[in-house]
A and B are shown apart, each in its own frame.
Chain A
């Protein structure tokens, strides 16, 4: 794959210290790469303890049923079976969001999808556990299954969950930022379109696994392939097991990929913990691939309706967006997912008036949740395809039109998102130039086409999942008298490179080499809390926490080194494993000496750092989703080949530019961009979670063979441009890259298909069947389009009206209905001033003036 990294010309700031950096921003091998390649990384399934038992779960064969009776006696009697659990043994509900505590480790009274766990067996071998599970007799009373969004709207009873707001609608919202009708009245052109984005699953290479040990002194340790050890620790285990959090230790093993699929506390993790407590022996579970499909928490299928008004030049006057999410059987992150389908429409192009109506339905399918891009690829698809249509209607070049209306840096949007650096313009120009857009768009022969789309993503959710006033990320830093540096942080490496980010920043700031840095992460007993590897928050938040800890460590070391060297501490530079006078590099000591001087005079050199997000500007109900310390930007151009006889779409190449603020490790950044393109490509052309609605609502194809995800042969060439527009809130200016680059891929492909053969496929995946049908309709003189045609009636609530900033709004809703309120049972977070933010690196750093370092 061709790569072209944006050179210094792309850097908005030509700050001298950027070139003085020795580690940050320089490509290097990820610190955990060799172990991965050699197979020595220990994933959760690699762990084994003496006397370990194995667990299998009995899962529901019914999509919706009441449990009448469970008889486990035959299973319990099988030789080798040590314990059998049912829902009665774990009656406390849990769930990732405070508003949807709707899960049980094992179903208590009813089952809500095929695959919902009902009972668990611990046995001396996996074979025995498997045999025992088949001996458990369960009597079910079948309930009407809710198979689809239409069902969920139409069938109010039976309810899948009693707490749902309207029958089987879990949550509905209506947010108005300014009067969109006024905006539509000002428009020269208005479009209404309906789109559908199919659900898909994460398909990580590693299947979920967990191991639990209950020590004789009453302490519980759980090793798991989880992205969020902190939430597993406090939101599930402590709560459900009634064991104080202080006696539970959760260790997240390196994840063999997560993509959001391991960010909920999972029922099997609670089950093995309980079984360890019951049996007094270590208990392990490794899910089968089929079971991973049932855990799911993947991309929500979303039906969307968009109405956008524009001026002749494409300037948006108003946008009205409706989304309806098929959530599956449980809440998961779903309420947040729903809000995310309406949150980020405003951060790419200026939207002066905006209305969002969103609803999430329960259906009897595997629960949906966060998948890479969490709730934003769906609306981004709708928005970017609609803009392509608008550009055509207005006879404008879609790239030019977008360029004209980009949100300026340091903007407060209509829905009160505070945007910092915006590298979107540079992204558009990069891919337009690189792809030869102006010579290709609307000019390639029939069957070939190019399409363009942009996007933006958050760099960490600005608000934690449960309201609290504590930092979102903490780091503890220990300087060893041998010259080693150890970073302790709760962050979890899921393959995205978070361990490498910590090592890189520590090496940079303390002037040591990467191998001198030890990274200890994701252990709730050893490491300060980091909320987890989700929402693209880790580089920014742990990075800032580490910057603070490292600054404090440097201050201690510099104080005593300065005394010895007889230079002012602020002149000291940490580089090349030395601490020396920035004005005279000869005058210095080795880093080891410097640490020893500090340890002798000061005592053990350990510092801490922590990070809190800036206070969100919005104060209306629903304002918790969307705010972020910074926003990344991406633009993609896809070139496709469409076979008009078969409808088969081949994506030949994607040019993608991503504004990452500042690379910490460009190799990792590049890998994340390419990985995102790969995942986006799968969603664009083939992936889906299909259910047999006439046959027990089974997942049709829960296997890696039949769930079609691209192979290397389907992967397109990728040309990556990294744009570095540093954000003041990011460590060294860094923004996210793990999720954002996925977003422009599906709409770019859809727009390219239109350019190639003149049919609009307004839903993903863009399969050959759909393309061929649209082509046939076109030939017959019908509408050259495939996609949904209507958005159903939804019982929307009274709108929450929030005047946008330019209409004098202060972020609050008008009237009482929309005032932000604390979730029942949770304390509201008190507001703070931004003055408590740690200084961002590269700005107020005491050693940033080391231009003369080697």
Chain B
């Protein structure tokens, strides 16, 4: 069987301890949340931390709570209004995907989040996997998510132990795919991610949390930890997430489509359309959003938006299914997502 390599396993109980342990470990250290991504990767030797800092026992990270106007986080770094509605939710990074999918408040106020969480992998893995883990999911590639022996036979790739990106051999960068289902949703919702570091806390919009680079796919600093996700006020907008994959379980997305619209009556006042699993980051397609802003999501607007999303969608040949079909499906899936929102258009 594939076996884990030897490593030091640390179990801090406070955030402060965890940050210190990670900092002490330096580049050889990694956090582990549910372990559903990291441990298989370690077995195949494409992630090789010497020190693993487990976050399961850190107090306060596994919670779903309302963030009211009297909350201590009433003001954030982007200096947004301090008066926040009481029904805004803050999700702790260690919340499991099962909890997220089943939580009554999440389902009532942010059904798109519950839906995306429920579409991840299998019930068993959702019991272990976490929100933070899914948002920080290592990028994936058919040349990378392979055993040591397999990768050795192709002389490795630039993401681990090698020099070349086999997906695009002349490319200077790695094309591994962001395969998170929650990431495009959080970008579409403009969720705020709270990062704790040795120098304190900072908040970044989800859209600025990711890089379009298969290796350095997060903007997070090495010594920072994603601790929570602040969702926006749930009123006045609608959103949905559509996932394409071969099978109804297990599979990572080969295309994710997250759409967020703010309604002004029956008109779209603002919108964000984000594609998952076609790039190294959740790819926002502003031109597709522009095509529906100001419209009442007429069929023509929907078609125009789907076409606008299709054009910049450039999946590479490193996941399941052929890339041209995946690209083509962008149009279908954006269309379907928009038609779903159209169904729920306020009258």
Do the two shown chains form a genuine complex with each other?
Answer: yes
B1 within 8 A of A: yes
Task: Determine how close the nearest CB of chain A comes to the CB of B247; give it in whole angstroms.
Answer: 5
Contacts of A769 in B (CB 8 A): 321-322, 324-325
Task: Determine how close the nearest CB of chain A comes to the CB of B98; give it in whole angstroms.
Answer: 17
B154 and A698 form a contact (CB under 8 A): yes
A290 and B147 form a contact (CB under 8 A): yes
A705 and B250 form a contact (CB under 8 A): yes
A290 and B150 form a contact (CB under 8 A): yes
Bound Cα distance A59, B150 (Å): 10
Task: Determine how close the nearest CB of chain A comes to the CB of B70; give it in whole angstroms.
Answer: 45
Task: Determine how close the nearest CB of chain A comes to the CB of B100; give it in whole angstroms.
Answer: 21
In B291-347, the 8 Å CB interface with A consists of 320-322, 324-325, 328-329, 332
**Which of chain B's residues has its CB closest to A692's CB?**
B154
A798 within 8 A of B: no
B325 and A126 form a contact (CB under 8 A): no
Contacts of B150 in A (CB 8 A): 290, 698, 702
Mark contacts of A711-750 with chain B using CB atoms, 8 A cut-off: 1 yes-contact digit, 0 otherwise.
Answer: 1111000000000000000000000000000000000000
Mark contacts of A421-458 with chain B using CB atoms, 8 A cut-off: 1 yes-contact digit, 0 otherwise.
Answer: 00000000000000000000000000000000000000
Contacts of A703 in B (CB 8 A): 145-146
Contacts of A701 in B (CB 8 A): 142, 320
Bound Cα distance A736, B166 (Å): 48
Task: Determine how close the nearest CB of chain A comes to the CB of B334; give it in whole angstroms.
Answer: 12
A706 partner, pick from B1, B142, B248, beta carbons under 8 A: B142
Bound Cα distance A142, B328 (Å): 40
In B1-54, the 8 Å CB interface with A consists of 1-3, 6
In B136-179, the 8 Å CB interface with A consists of 142, 145-150, 152-154, 166
A59 and B247 form a contact (CB under 8 A): no
Mark contacts of A757-800 with chain B using CB atoms, 8 A cut-off: 1 yes-contact digit, 0 otherwise.
Answer: 00000000001110010000000000000000000000000000
A390 within 8 A of B: no
Task: Determine how close the nearest CB of chain B comes to the CB of A225; give it in whole angstroms.
Answer: 14
Task: Determine how close the nearest CB of chain A comes to the CB of B253; give it in whole angstroms.
Answer: 13
Bound Cα distance A526, B332 (Å): 63
Bound Cα distance A59, B148 (Å): 12
B332 and A646 form a contact (CB under 8 A): yes
Bound Cα distance A130, B4 (Å): 11
Number of interface residues of A (CB under 8 A): 35
A696 within 8 A of B: yes
A645 within 8 A of B: yes
B166 and A695 form a contact (CB under 8 A): yes
A710 and B247 form a contact (CB under 8 A): yes
B320 partner, pick from A126, A647, A706, A710, beta carbons under 8 A: A706
In A74-107, the 8 Å CB interface with B consists of none
**Which of chain A's residues has its CB closest to B335's CB?**
A645
Contacts of B59 in A (CB 8 A): none
Q: A288-B1, A288-B2, A646-B332 are in contact. Are A708 and B153 (CB under 8 A)?
A: no
B246 within 8 A of A: yes
B222 within 8 A of A: no
Bound Cα distance A774, B70 (Å): 61
B147 and A288 form a contact (CB under 8 A): yes
A667 within 8 A of B: no
- Most chain A CB inside 10 Å of its own CB: which residue of B3, B145, B149, B152: B149
Bound Cα distance A714, B1 (Å): 28
Q: A61-B153, A695-B154 are in contact. Are A127 and B250 (CB under 8 A)?
A: no
Contacts of A646 in B (CB 8 A): 329, 332
Q: A645-B332, A695-B166, A701-B142 are in contact. Are A711 and B248 (CB under 8 A)?
A: yes
Mark contacts of A680-715 with chain B using CB atoms, 8 A cut-off: 1 yes-contact digit, 0 otherwise.
Answer: 000000100000000110101111011010111110
A114 and B153 form a contact (CB under 8 A): yes
Contacts of A647 in B (CB 8 A): 325
B249 within 8 A of A: yes
Contacts of B149 in A (CB 8 A): 59, 61, 290
A711 and B249 form a contact (CB under 8 A): yes
Bound Cα distance A166, B37 (Å): 49
B325 and A714 form a contact (CB under 8 A): no
Contacts of B142 in A (CB 8 A): 700-701, 706
Contacts of A711 in B (CB 8 A): 247-250
A476 within 8 A of B: no
Bound Cα distance A711, B148 (Å): 27
A714 and B248 form a contact (CB under 8 A): yes
A286 within 8 A of B: yes
Task: Determine how close the nearest CB of chain B comes to the CB of A290; give it in whole angstroms.
Answer: 5
B328 partner, pick from A695, A696, A698, A772, beta carbons under 8 A: A772
- Most chain B CB inside 10 Å of its own CB: which residue of A286, A706, A708: A706
Contacts of A288 in B (CB 8 A): 1-2, 147
**Which of chain A's residues has its CB closest to B147's CB?**
A290
A713 and B154 form a contact (CB under 8 A): no
Mark contacts of A166-179 with chain B using CB atoms, 8 A cut-off: 1 yes-contact digit, 0 otherwise.
Answer: 00000000000000
- Most chain B CB inside 10 Å of its own CB: which residue of A61, A710, A713, A767: A61
Contacts of A767 in B (CB 8 A): 321
A698 and B147 form a contact (CB under 8 A): no
Bound Cα distance A713, B246 (Å): 11
**Which of chain A's residues has its CB closest to B324's CB?**
A769
Task: Determine how close the nearest CB of chain B comes to the CB of A113; give it in whole angstroms.
Answer: 11
**Which of chain B's residues has its CB closest to A207's CB?**
B1
A713 and B248 form a contact (CB under 8 A): yes
Q: A646-B329, A769-B321 are in contact. Are A127 and B3 (CB under 8 A)?
A: yes
A772 and B325 form a contact (CB under 8 A): yes
Contacts of B251 in A (CB 8 A): 705, 708
Bound Cα distance A703, B150 (Å): 11
Mark contacts of B254-281 with chain A using CB atoms, 8 A cut-off: 1 yes-contact digit, 0 otherwise.
Answer: 0000000000000000000000000000
Q: A290-B150, A696-B154, A701-B142 are in contact. Are A708 and B320 (CB under 8 A)?
A: yes
- Most chain A CB inside 10 Å of its own CB: which residue of B6, B142, B166, B246: B246
Mark contacts of B221-260 with chain A using CB atoms, 8 A cut-off: 1 yes-contact digit, 0 otherwise.
Answer: 0000000000000000000000000111111000000000
Bound Cα distance A466, B257 (Å): 58
Task: Determine how close the nearest CB of chain B comes to the CB of A655; give it in whole angstroms.
Answer: 23
Contacts of A127 in B (CB 8 A): 3, 6
A698 and B248 form a contact (CB under 8 A): no
Q: A646-B332, A708-B246 are in contact. Are A698 and B153 (CB under 8 A)?
A: yes
B1 and A126 form a contact (CB under 8 A): yes
Contacts of A706 in B (CB 8 A): 142, 145, 320
Contacts of B321 in A (CB 8 A): 767-769
**Which of chain B's residues has its CB closest to A714's CB?**
B247
Task: Determine how close the nearest CB of chain B comes to the CB of A689; give it in whole angstroms.
Answer: 14
A130 and B249 form a contact (CB under 8 A): no
Bound Cα distance A703, B144 (Å): 13
Bound Cα distance A185, B145 (Å): 57
Bound Cα distance A645, B251 (Å): 22
Bound Cα distance A288, B43 (Å): 11
Bound Cα distance A114, B152 (Å): 11
**Which of chain A's residues has its CB closest to B322's CB?**
A769
Contacts of B146 in A (CB 8 A): 702-703
Bound Cα distance A701, B321 (Å): 12
Bound Cα distance A768, B324 (Å): 12
Bound Cα distance A314, B214 (Å): 58
**Which of chain B's residues has its CB closest to A126's CB?**
B3
Task: Determine how close the nearest CB of chain A comes to the CB of B309; give it in whole angstroms.
Answer: 15
Mark contacts of A280-299 with chain B using CB atoms, 8 A cut-off: 1 yes-contact digit, 0 otherwise.
Answer: 00000010101000000000
Contacts of A702 in B (CB 8 A): 146, 150
Q: 12 new A-B pairs (CB below 8 Å) besides A646-B332, A706-B142, A708-B320?
A: A207-B1, A290-B149, A645-B332, A646-B329, A695-B154, A701-B320, A702-B150, A708-B246, A711-B248, A713-B248, A713-B249, A714-B248
Chain A to chain B contacts (Cβ below 8 Å), 8 pairs: A127-B3, A130-B3, A286-B1, A290-B150, A686-B246, A703-B145, A713-B247, A714-B247
Question: Which 8 residue pairs are nearest across A and B when measured between Cβ atoms?
Answer: A713-B248, A61-B153, A769-B325, A708-B246, A711-B249, A711-B247, A769-B322, A645-B332
Q: What is the interface of chain B, defined by CB distance below 8 A to chain A?
A: 1-3, 6, 142, 145-150, 152-154, 166, 246-251, 320-322, 324-325, 328-329, 332
